[in-house]
Amino acid sequence: MASYEDNIHNLRAERDRKTSSDPLHWLNLAGLFWLEEGENSFGSSSQNKIVLPAFPGANCGSFHFKNGLVTLHADDNAGVTVNGNPPDDCPLRTDKDSKSDMIEIGSLTMKIIIRGGVPLVRIWDRESQAVKNFPGFHYYPVKPEYRIAAKYIRYNPPKPIKVMEIIGTEIDSSFLGQAQFTLNGIECTLEAEKSGDKLLFNFTDGTNKETTYGGGRRFYLPVPEGNEIILDFNLTENWPCAYTPFATCPIPMRENRLPIKIEAGELKYHE
């Protein structure tokens, strides 16, 4: 039977494997561009509003933003597809829809995302050197003492909150409860944010900027049925902004600034 340490090591190895094989991983991000009202041309030429050397042509088309909708006008010879098909005149589905439209051109994949009510173009590159040279993620050694039983205080009703993102936009969210625990003799609390059907613990601690990413770290847990929750800081991972400047990560709330060092989980990716 695998030990606790073996299980954590297996999870970390599987994460490395998925990262190496995922063409839409954060490490593949090549650009993030705000769309302006009207035409937003894209291509390899500096004359465009959206410029990347990986575009296969000087001008490959444009995104038209009007009345809150984005449509794609592609050059006939650029080889652009949307979900594997030739583009049409329909507004593009964004990350706020049940399924986003994925735009392919050369080695690039593009998607429209909405932040603060404004559309942006997120671009991945399957030929990204960051993935080709991926060394694996870095972690503290597995420490069972950072697997902690905490008291869980459920909020009824949930507490609505505004979460600030690193790009300056805000999103609506809610706290579903609070975890109360003692570590190294110090009493601590962490607010549990709703994230789909799970709890998100987004926090900072005394290791940030020294050994861990300065923007904070995170882990997810199922919603407990009772009044106890097991916090496993060995499962802690960095936010995508630790790897790329083209992510839109949430900033940890002041309530989740822990007054101690959590010397467990993922370390800095870049020195």
Residues 39 and 145 in one domain: no
Mean pLDDT over 98-118 rounds to 96
Confidence (pLDDT) at 20: 94
Confidence (pLDDT) at 231: 98
The yes-or-no verdict on residue 271 having pLDDT over 90 is: no
**How many whole angstroms from its chain centre is CA 199?**
16
Mean pLDDT over 40-49 rounds to 97
Residues 122 and 148 in one domain: no
Residues 141 and 245 in one domain: yes
Residues 126 and 166 in one domain: no
Mean pLDDT over 139-151 rounds to 97
- Residue 43's domain comprises 22-132
* Domain of residue 96, CATH code: 2.60.200.20
Residues 120 and 180 in one domain: no
Q: pLDDT tens, 211-229?
A: 999 999 999 999 999 999 9
Give the chain's domain count: 2
pLDDT exceeding 90 applies to what percent of the chain? 96
Q: Does a structural domain hold residue 83?
A: yes
End of a domain among 98, 132, 166?
Answer: 132
Q: How many CB atoms lie within 10 A of CB 100?
A: 16
The yes-or-no verdict on residue 248 having pLDDT over 80 is: yes
* C-alpha pair distances (Å), 56 with each of 34, 80, 108: 21, 10, 9
Residues 252 and 143 in one domain: yes
Place 48 in a pLDDT band, splitting at 50, 70 and 90. very high
Residues 113 and 153 in one domain: no
Residues 83 and 98 in one domain: yes
The shares of helix, strand and coil residues in the chain, as percent rounded to the nearest 5, are 15, 45, 45
Q: pLDDT tens, 197-211?
A: 999 999 999 999 899
Which residues in 44-185 belong to E strands, given as ranges? 50-51, 61-66, 69-74, 81-82, 103-105, 108-115, 118-125, 147-164, 170-183
Confidence (pLDDT) at 217: 97
